[in-house]
Structures are given as structure tokens and as C-alpha cells.
Amino acid sequence: MKGFLKQKEVGIGKNGKKFGSEYWSEIYGSGLDVDGSYNAKQHADYLKSLFQLMEIPVYKIADFGFGKGILLREMVKTFSPVKVYAVDASKEAYEELKKKDWVKRSDKFHIYHESLETLVLPKLEKEPVELGICNSVIQYLPDSQIPEVLEKMAKYCNYLYFTVPTNEDYAVMKKEMSFVDPYAFSRTKKKYRKWIERDFEIVGYNLLQSKWLGEKGFKEDFFRI
């Protein structure tokens, strides 16, 4: 296993706090009711089937904000990539992932403790991965950083498995579960769509296709939004 850690300030939430143990216990909890965690296998199986249908091979994966690593693990099990790049702004998440047996017993993992705002991976600039993952992450970034981060991910991966809660989603979570995330920015769907459309096309449920790279596995114009 290859690891890398820079001694400098990394990402913080809207409330000015780092994503430490308090965040994981209060916001994430056990993860049993978090989309992409309790149903991580279903997400991976869905994406695998879609890529098989479109005849898109996946040899390398990058996870931009791996968190507990639950979805990443299922994606790795399902796609069996030869290389995996994983980054998270949380030191706790970084240290925990390094301890996982499924990570320690393989040399395919390249793990980084870094914020998406400051992340630079020259290797991916030269050789983008087929599949990127960014599951419920960019709501924690300030407006000023999002365009640059999205462009970066669009240059690092051909396809991005992507989710982000909008203000409408947060309203439902507050009403139905009394859930409020003080670390996150609440934004409209229109705002996120405007940012995304410069660098990506929406080609499926949770799936974006880069506008920067040459690969166009999803060619049908009608379904490229």
C-alpha cells in the first residue's frame, strides 16, 4: 500500500470545523441509514451493469472524498481495478482506511489526506481514471472553490459517480428525520446544475460524463443532459 500525507491545513465545513470524530459521530453516525453506505453493494452492482451494457471497461478508480470507505470497498470488489486513488480531507477517515485489511493486503491503493480544493495528482492529469466517485461531498465546499474542483475531477476521470443533496433534499431530511448538517452549504439544484454543466454531461442516474476527455461511452444525444 502506498500512502501520502501533507502537513498542512485541509478542508473544513461551513461551520469552520474540521471533519473529525465529532463530524463522524454526529452527522454520519453508524452509516446504516446513509445512501451509498447501507446500499453500497446495490450502487456498485447498478453501475457495473450499466458499464457492461455500454461496453465501458474500468481499470482505475478514484474516490474524491471516500469517508468511511464503504462505497469505495464495494466498487473495488465489483470492478476489480488495477489501481485505486482515494482522497479525503478527514484525518480520521484517512487513518481508518489505511488500517482496513482489504487495503493493507494490496499494493493497488494510493491514499491521500488532502482537501479537494488543494489536491493535485499529476499522474491523473497524464492518465485519467475511467471511474471517479464523489458521493455527497461538494456540499461541504464554499462556492468559490466548486468550479475549480469540478473541472479538476472532469480532467481526472472519464466518468464520475456523483451525488449531492440540494436545499430541497435537506428540507425533506429535516422534516422527516429532524436532520440538519451544520457542516454543509444548502444550495439549489439550479445552482449545482449550472456549475456541473460546464465540465460534465449527465448520462445516467448519479452518473456524469466528462466534457474534457475524449472518451464518450454514452453517445446518444437524447440522454446526454
Is the pLDDT higher at 166 or at 223? 166
Give residue 34's pLDDT.
Answer: 67
Please write the tens of the pLDDT for every residue from 106-152.
999 999 999 999 999 999 999 999 999 999 999 999 999 999 999 99
Distances (CA, A) of 74 to 50, 109, 128: 16, 14, 21
Residues 6+ apart with CB under 8 A from 225: 201, 202, 203
Instruction: Tell me the pLDDT band of 101, cut-offs 50, 70 and 90.
Output: very high
Angle (CA) 70-165-129 rounded to 5° is: 50
Number of domains in the chain: 1
**DSSP letter assigned to residue 143:** G
Cell reading at 166: 440540494
Please write the tens of the pLDDT for every residue from 185-195.
999 999 999 99
- How many angstroms separate the CA atoms of 16 and 184, rounded? 10
Evaluate if residue 7 carries a pLDDT over 50. no
Distances (CA, A) of 27 to 13, 89, 140, 184, 202: 12, 16, 13, 10, 28
Domain that holds residue 173: 2-223
- How many angstroms separate the CA atoms of 64 and 124, rounded? 13
Pair type for strands 157-163 and 207-210: antiparallel
Give residue 29's pLDDT.
Answer: 63
Evaluate if residue 37 carries a pLDDT over 70. yes
Give residue 33's pLDDT.
Answer: 63
Write b or e for each residue in 89-109: b if 16 or more Cβ atoms lie within 10 A of its Cβ, otherwise e: bbebbbebbbeeeebeeeebb
pTM above 0.95, yes or no: no
Please report, for the domain that includes residue 114, its CATH number. 3.40.50.150
- How many angstroms separate the CA atoms of 122 and 221, rounded? 32
Instruction: Judge whether 103 and 94 are in contact, CB under 8 Å.
Output: no
Evaluate if residue 71 carries a pLDDT over 60. yes
- How many angstroms separate the CA atoms of 185 and 177, rounded? 18
Evaluate if residue 1 carries a pLDDT over 60. no
Consecutive H or E run containing 92: helix 91-99
- How many angstroms separate the CA atoms of 45 and 208, rounded? 17
Please write the tens of the pLDDT for every residue from 195-217.
999 999 999 999 999 999 977 88
